[in-house]
Structure 1
Amino acid sequence: METAPQPEHEARVAEVRARIAELVEGDPSPAERALVLRLLRSFTAKTPDAVDLLARSLEAGDPEPVSEHAHSLKGSAANIGAIRLAALCAAVEDRARAGTVADPGPTAERLRAEVSGALTAVRAVTAHYER
């Protein structure tokens, strides 16, 4: 598996941390820390299946499920601070809502690369909150 270049990784980590900081201010309480960990772990656990589902929908070429799956993944990504993934999903969703499906192969490849970077960043932030 290819790793993200360091500046990109650091930017992704900063984006996730910024989003978490919006959810909990300062030093989080034990309950807030547990909530953050559940959110981070849920994203890590569910995102690979979500991107697989979106990739299969792209391959099928039907705009409606592509729009639905891209919208769902966009929301999850935005909720966790994976801004780049959310933006990519938004572009896929917008195109599908307009009635067209992006070229499945290259689009799925870009999605998987961005998911990989987002997951690496989320895991780094998770490790911080686990300490």
Structure 2
Amino acid sequence: MADTHLDRNVLSALQEVMEDEYPTLLDTFLADSEERLCILRNTEDAEQLMNAAHSFKGSSSNMGAIRLAELCNELEQRAKQESLAGIKELVGEIDGEFAIVRPLYEAERQRSLGD
């Protein structure tokens, strides 16, 4: 099933590679994401925004969170230009997208533990 939020093929591949470590990987991704979101919400510093957005983009992409990676990329590009106009709205969108994918990853974690 193609999904705009989550690439299930990426998750299947990760589960094959990670095996027993897969649930831990999901936990780590969620915890790191919370931390990065916290930075994005609270910083006014363009460089800090850029770094947090860059690492969030990378982990989202690795974990198959397609839309989240796109939004983080957009934020990173804007922060690079030091144009902080509309940043709060964009961080709000990233927040909203994470709120959508978070339960999907939690469900995936439950499913993988039940295998």
Give the structure 1 partner of residue 14 of structure 2: 23
User: Equivalents in 1 of 2:5, 2:92: separation in Å?
Assistant: 22
Code of the residue aligned with 2:11 in structure 1: it is I
Q: Deviations over 1:12-66 (max 9, x none)?
A: 6751x311223344xx7xxx33221111111122211210111212xx1x32111
Give the structure 2 partner of residue 39 of structure 1: 25
Q: Give 1 or 2 for the bigger CA radius of gyration.
A: 1
User: Equivalents in 2 of 1:116, 1:102: separation in Å?
Assistant: 23
CA contact (8 A) 2:6 2:101 kept: no
TM-score, normalised to structure 2's length?
A: 0.84
Q: Deviations over 1:62-101 (max 9, x none)?
A: 3211110100111111111111101100000011112212
CA contact (8 A) 2:68 2:94 kept: yes
Number of residues of Structure 1 aligned to a counterpart in Structure 2: 114
Task: Quote the sequence identity (%).
Answer: 27
Q: Structure 2, unaligned stretches of length 5 or more?
A: none
Q: Structure 1, unaligned stretches of length 5 or more?
A: 1-9
User: Equivalents in 2 of 1:24, 1:113: separation in Å?
Assistant: 26
